[in-house]
Amino acid sequence: MLLGACLSASYGVMSRPLITRYSALLVMASGMVAGSLGLLAVALVEHLPILPELTGWQWSLIVFLAVPGSAGAFYLLVWAYGKTAPTRVAIFLTFNPIVAMLAGSAFLGEPLSTLQVAALGLVLAGVGVVSLPVRVSGRAADKSSMGMHAEKPSA
End-to-end CA distance of the chain: 36
Question: How far apart, in whole angstroms, are the C-alpha atoms of residue 78 and residue 25?
Answer: 8
- Answer yes or no: is pLDDT of 10 > 80: yes
Query: Burial level of 10, CB count in 10 A (0-12/13-18/19+)?
Result: exposed
Instruction: Give me the torsion for CA of 104, 33, 21, 90, rounded to 10°.
Output: 30
Question: How far apart, in whole angstroms, are the C-alpha atoms of residue 68 and residue 75?
Answer: 9
In a domain, 101, yes or no: yes
Q: Quickly count: other Cβ atoms within 10 Å of residue 7's Cβ.
A: 10
In a domain, 147, yes or no: no
In a domain, 118, yes or no: yes
Structurally, the chain folds into a number of domains equal to 1
Mind listing the pLDDT tens digit for each residue in 93-144? Answer: 888 888 889 999 999 999 999 999 999 999 899 888 888 887 766 665 555 5
- The answer to whether the CB of 74 falls within 8 A of the CB of 31 is yes
Distances (CA, A) of 74 to 10, 81, 113, 131: 15, 11, 29, 23
Phi-psi region of 54 (alpha: psi -120 to 50; beta: other; left: phi over 0): beta
Answer whether 0.85 is exceeded by the pTM: no
Mind listing the pLDDT tens digit for each residue in 26-70? Answer: 888 888 888 889 888 888 888 777 677 888 898 899 889 888 888
In a domain, 153, yes or no: no
Q: How many CA atoms lie within 13 A of 89 on its CB side?
A: 22
Identify the domain containing residue 93 by its residue range.
Answer: 2-133
